[in-house]
Structure 1
Amino acid sequence: MKLKKPSIEVILIIVVLLALTIFILVNFKMLNKKIGCLREERVACKELDPGDECNFSLRGEEIKGICKEPQRGELVCRSENFFKRGKN
């Protein structure tokens, strides 16, 4: 029994599905990093008041910030330098 060679359409569909799967996995990993970052920012201000200095770590780097206005009832530690650096 001899196997037929797959057509170009079948190969193209497989390549597109693989690319789509890789794209989704990479974006999911980035989303998890952002969610983790937000958790750390909230924990940093858990027992502080608005305007107090706070620290949180992101990927091993210690970041200093200020507790900002509540979002969904929780204070969030924000660092202007950190967000400016990410936009470059």
Structure 2
Amino acid sequence: MRQKDGAVLFDLLEKERGVWTDSCVEDQIRCVISFANDPSSNKQWFDFKDERKKYPSNFLGIQKIDHGFVHEAKISVLTIFFNHL
């Protein structure tokens, strides 16, 4: 997990699930990676918002849109995501 890229994992998650996923899930993934690298960190998921906003919005050719997909419960998406690591 330490060497993973949060943006790449998030894009792969959306591609695999085939649904729009709230961007705060990407922030949570980035937070998990950060914690894996520094367990003493006090950062929270929302501390990664600015970092996420610097990243291209269609990495790996996945076009992110705000409508048209089934909205999944965040906890379900995270559970599925972490079960595939």
More helix by share: 2
Same fold (TM over 0.5): no
Q: Aligning the two structures, in what range does the TM-score lie when normalised by the shorter sequence? A: under 0.3
TM-score (norm 2): 0.26
The structure that is strand-richer by fraction is 1
Q: Report the TM-score, using the length of structure 1 for normalisation.
A: 0.25
Structure of higher CA gyration radius: 1
| Structure with larger RCO (C-alpha < 8 A, sep 6+) | 2
